[in-house]
Structure 1
């Protein structure tokens, strides 16, 4: 069996080298590239041989960060499977990375076993949403006994929740009061059996309310 090829994009050299060493200890995987920022990685893609199967992409980098890199990849190389890496579990950042095509999101202090599982599941299933990102959401999203019926305005709200807009900006865009938007949010959380905005994003992706490349 051919090894699964991994590319690391991270500006911290010590972390990148340590991660390479760790991945090298997994027999199924091989690191085929290390780059210090998104621009360097994108330039290298033009002549990359072999192409990576999975990209581990740091969110916070100089010159071209993870979000901007994901936007470029979504538009130009959507077939690449990317797992975002970060020291932060900020909800807005997670949403931005996922809605721009990231197949997973891991904190940098993740246990090696979790990293191994994330790489394997991303390769085999096409995505990996850890408990940190989704809690029990991945299981919950597909477990409704009956199909949930959403009103047109609820769908509109979910679509806007999948953007970088704040709830206040969503309220303005829908010509509603922030209090009404809070009502939409809480009602949907209860109806969809989710607890966070990330849950709305994952629900929207799973049910193709928003378009995300596979």
Structure 2
């Protein structure tokens, strides 16, 4: 069973969403928190069940979605954040994506779309609606000259499109974690990217990786 946590200060709504998730095959809800700080306290507790996915609201008291997502990206990189909010503002959407969220859904989304998003985040590492893809494309840095990637960099990109951690990629490529970090920084710089999610999108669009 894949574990899901919800973070939302609207208790009734979060309970309703939790009820939907529990109906999905292979998913269970392990925690419901009213803000990011409460989620972090839960994750740091001795009996915590670390979730595979966190459904994250954006605007919450004490600690909001952007700040919490940044924390999880840094301290719990294996946890995938899927934003679930009423906010439609383009700037808010991009703040969540840049903070490390693997997708962005509105709270009035259909049950089937929510289930699809959860499954695709686990399978491909992200779930982007057409609107989010358009915003990401608009925010991408325009490269003035053709990017030349080395064979080992392409190999790294292919591995980075999977669920493997950077440490696991290092083992797969028979390299040190520090060397892999160097590949990551080099590739991100060449492609004008800021996170692994953007790398996956680039790889798919340029036929480097096929889901």
Both structures adopt the same fold (TM-score exceeding 0.5): yes
Aligned pair count reads 152
Distance 1:137 1:97 in 2: 12
* 1:211, distance to aligned residue in structure 2 (A): 2.8
Distance 1:86 1:136 in 2: 17
2:195 pairs with 1:212: yes
TM-score of the superposed pair, with normalisation by structure 2: 0.65
* 1:137, distance to aligned residue in structure 2 (A): 7.5
Partner of 1:11: 9
In our comparison, the structure showing a higher alpha carbon Rg is 1
In the TM superposition, 1:1-214 aligns within 5 A as 3-47=1-45, 49-134=48-133, 150-151=143-144, 208-213=191-196
* 1:98, distance to aligned residue in structure 2 (A): 0.6
Q: Secondary structure at the match of 2:28?
A: strand
TM-score of the superposed pair, with normalisation by structure 1: 0.64
Distance 1:31 1:21 in 2: 9
What CA deviation, in whole Å up to 9, does each residue of 1:163-188 have, x standing for no partner? xxxxxxxxxxxxxxxxxxxxxxxxxx
Distance 1:95 1:136 in 2: 7
* 1:91, distance to aligned residue in structure 2 (A): 0.7
Over the residues paired in the alignment, what is the CA RMSD in angstroms? 2.6
Q: Secondary structure at the match of 1:32?
A: strand
Q: Secondary structure at the match of 1:102?
A: coil
Counterpart contact for 1:78–1:213, Cα < 8 Å: no
What CA deviation, in whole Å up to 9, does each residue of 1:103-139 have, x standing for no partner? 000000001010000000001111000123225988x
Distance 2:76 2:63 in 1: 16
Greater shift in the superposed pair: 7-16 or 43-52 = 43-52
Greater shift in the superposed pair: 39-48 or 120-129 = 39-48
Question: Structure with the greater relative contact order (CA < 8 A, sep ≥ 6): 1 or 2?
Answer: 1
Query: Could you list the runs of 5+ residues in structure 2 that have no partner in the other structure?
Result: 146-186, 198-211
Q: Secondary structure at the match of 1:88?
A: coil
Distance 1:136 1:65 in 2: 22
Counterpart contact for 1:11–1:37, Cα < 8 Å: yes
